[in-house]
Structure 1
């Protein structure tokens, strides 16, 4: 090699190393088996995930298509600010409904700020963007393709947040597409759950919105229209996990793993893209060994919008079934809710999938809710959905043919990027 070729090779290697350092993530490693139950560990759980446990909140669960009327009504009642952050936004009826509500709010003098992930909002439509901007809505994309985002294109904003007047907030899995609004040709209407919060926890959710807004819009909020004083309005304790520090595991991943470690009786997970890594599998294994009843619900290959993820996740079914985890595949449509419950006492709800992309790459949010009532509603939803599931049994699973096994292995090779 010539001197020039050597210099170019070394420069390329250095550039690749720098990009890797910029985008790499730290794994969450948690080996402890704490003695206390989750109710006795709420402050520690919040603190370990860069949050603060806040009392005095009220929580309402909003399911399936009821999300859109609830959101439109809430936007219509807002008096000062509307802050919306979402991943997926596509043209259609749902888009028109939400756009109409945002335009109307802006025209009556509210500060309306909207942030959409650049990739997830690529089918938002030029007309929708023009309507919003013409009405005075501040609209920004998160991580659009540009030289300034070199090395960060793969980091997506997967959160779904709506904050109104800094006093009320929605957090969950619903996206702004017609698949969540009404039945489609291939699937029935997607099933999902979003929680509406009032009380002091709304300030933490607003802070999560403000974090990405500051990056995308270069703006910070220093007004009481955005961060008003928040009085108690209920009796529920809650905390937010959303921080993803450099060179440290994301708080959402840590929250999932520590909550599982604290379980003493039951773990119920409903997630559309269930693809735990070796540490997640080990955490579930230890839970089963403690006598915890662990049950997972996720879509089957005929009811998912991503067969790649489903087959990648099926690759580790054998391990999970062998350690005593029960797996139920939902058969009707895409089961999109991202919720999990612990011991009938605590629930996590938010935007995060149970996979490496959500835990280690995307920007996500999960709200921890210490409420037997809310947890009971989610556990009952799990039971109701079992009627539409097929439980995977270990013996029959091991008798499947070579073709699905091959698909599972091939899809699993790139599981971190799904």
Structure 2
């Protein structure tokens, strides 16, 4: 009787667990769906007149009185390391990807030296992206007095947020200077994009009141992981205007609504009147984004996208997933350029030669709906011109995708495109 009862219970228990698993998946899907509405906006105003609106929609504030310096490829680290060495009170460092190597050791040495000098040095690393940081580097920094924390470590307590990664790349020094962009702490980010082993990237160096916004972004995740709140002149000093550039920072990810970076990217596409030039390593736009780009083309907007080809990418699966919608983009009139020689990792968009977005956000579901990101909206024609010059530097070495030739690509290519697109939300 007991064996018979156990034999009957086993399938029943299995069905119960299966039902609970299906229910959990439905709940997770429902939550994600609720945070990912189809965005719509109409406006006849010019983008330079709408900075307060862009900042407000993305839960920030447009801050005037700043300076911006664009830093390209490995030269970024020469400036960053020099400024870390000159820090007097605090260094806050946050990144997604840090791998043991020459660059990782240089960074660990610089941060350790400042901690030994008595500064408050806080280092926040994503637990997945920086799993190869190296035990020696981590121990070195902690022994020197750096406080090192990991975002969403593998733990039963984090099981519900393990897919949520900290993809931001930012540094704040003395609360007075900030760096934001795409650079990672991996040796392939050294050099000048001269070959497949040396990537291209862009970051910006900031001075002025906007530094408080970048510090706030760091504080958000630092406080969430460590419980430590910091305040005072060492981290939030009074900041006077030092230039004439207006900037706002988009990084908030409110519960039950679309994340700020997604709202920002979609809105500016809808506002463009002359041109939209996008540089992004992982370009997998959603249907509503493609429709918005198509509507922009109909308004007479020059829409171009620069990205790595599968031969240059560090993750060809992402490029194939993006390929799945190339035909629709091309039919809409969007021009697509693929760079075959190395990874173009810069995450940049310029609009009408006046406004720019730069930060950590890829143009895909993971960045727009899941990751913690930061993107700066910058109103300054000189910055837009500098970023467009980078586009123009790489474009002649690209292959521009043509609609008729693209439609004739091989069956195997098409199969890979459609297969990897199925996983586009987690790539």
Scaled to the shorter chain, the TM-score interval is: over 0.9
Shift of residue 162, structure 1, vs aligned partner: 0.2
Counterpart of 2:303 in structure 1 is: 294
Alignment partner of 1:168 out of 162, 174, 177: 177
> Structure 1 regions of 5+ residues with no counterpart?
none
Alignment partner of 1:136 out of 142, 145, 148: 145
Counterpart of 1:151 in structure 2 is: 160
**Residue 322 in structure 1 maps to residue 317 in structure 2:** no
Shift of residue 222, structure 1, vs aligned partner: 2.4
Deviations along 1:240-266, whole A, 9 cap, x unmatched? 000001110000000000011110000
Q: Say if 1:348 and 1:366, in contact at 8 Å, map to a contact too.
A: yes
Shift of residue 24, structure 1, vs aligned partner: 5.7
Over 3 Å counting, the alpha-carbon distance change for 1:414 and 1:10 in structure 2 is closer
Give the SS at the match of 2:113. helix
Alignment partner of 1:196 out of 175, 191, 205: 205
Q: Say if 1:87 and 1:175, in contact at 8 Å, map to a contact too.
A: yes
Counterpart of 1:76 in structure 2 is: 85
Counterpart of 1:342 in structure 2 is: 351
Q: Say if 1:25 and 1:361, in contact at 8 Å, map to a contact too.
A: no
Q: Distance in 1 between matches of 2:31 and 2:131?
A: 25
Q: Distance in 2 between matches of 1:202 and 1:13?
A: 45
Q: Distance in 2 between matches of 1:104 and 1:351?
A: 27
Over 3 Å counting, the alpha-carbon distance change for 1:384 and 1:11 in structure 2 is closer
Counterpart of 1:32 in structure 2 is: 41
Q: Which deviates more, 358-367 or 386-395?
A: 386-395
Counterpart of 1:43 in structure 2 is: 52
The equivalences for 1:75-154 within 5 A come to 75-154=84-163
TM-score with structure 2 setting the length: 0.94
Counterpart of 1:270 in structure 2 is: 279
TM-score with structure 1 setting the length: 0.96
Q: Say if 1:112 and 1:138, in contact at 8 Å, map to a contact too.
A: yes
Give the SS at the match of 2:67. strand
Counterpart of 2:363 in structure 1 is: 354
Counterpart of 2:254 in structure 1 is: 245
Deviations along 1:92-144, whole A, 9 cap, x unmatched? 11001111100111011100000000000111111111101100100000000
Q: Say if 2:31 and 2:256, in contact at 8 Å, map to a contact too.
A: no
> Structure 2 regions of 5+ residues with no counterpart?
1-7
Shift of residue 381, structure 1, vs aligned partner: 1.2
Counterpart of 1:226 in structure 2 is: 235
Shift of residue 32, structure 1, vs aligned partner: 2.6
Runs of 4+ in 1 over 4 A off after TM superposition: 1-25, 183-186
Q: Distance in 1 between matches of 2:13 and 2:157?
A: 28
Shift of residue 220, structure 1, vs aligned partner: 1.1
**Residue 54 in structure 1 maps to residue 57 in structure 2:** no
Q: Say if 2:123 and 2:147, in contact at 8 Å, map to a contact too.
A: yes
Over 3 Å counting, the alpha-carbon distance change for 1:331 and 1:16 in structure 2 is closer
Of the two, which has the highest radius of gyration?
Answer: 2
Q: Say if 2:37 and 2:258, in contact at 8 Å, map to a contact too.
A: yes
Matched length: 418
**Residue 374 in structure 1 maps to residue 383 in structure 2:** yes
Over 3 Å counting, the alpha-carbon distance change for 1:324 and 1:137 in structure 2 is same
Q: Say if 1:56 and 1:234, in contact at 8 Å, map to a contact too.
A: yes
Q: Distance in 1 between matches of 2:368 and 2:383?
A: 24
Q: Say if 1:242 and 1:251, in contact at 8 Å, map to a contact too.
A: yes
**Residue 384 in structure 1 maps to residue 393 in structure 2:** yes
Counterpart of 2:3 in structure 1 is: none
Q: Distance in 2 between matches of 1:319 and 1:104?
A: 53
Q: Say if 2:169 and 2:183, in contact at 8 Å, map to a contact too.
A: yes
Q: Distance in 1 between matches of 2:260 and 2:423?
A: 23
Give the SS at the match of 1:275. coil
Shift of residue 30, structure 1, vs aligned partner: 2.7
Deviations along 1:361-387, whole A, 9 cap, x unmatched? 000000000000000101111111112
Counterpart of 2:4 in structure 1 is: none
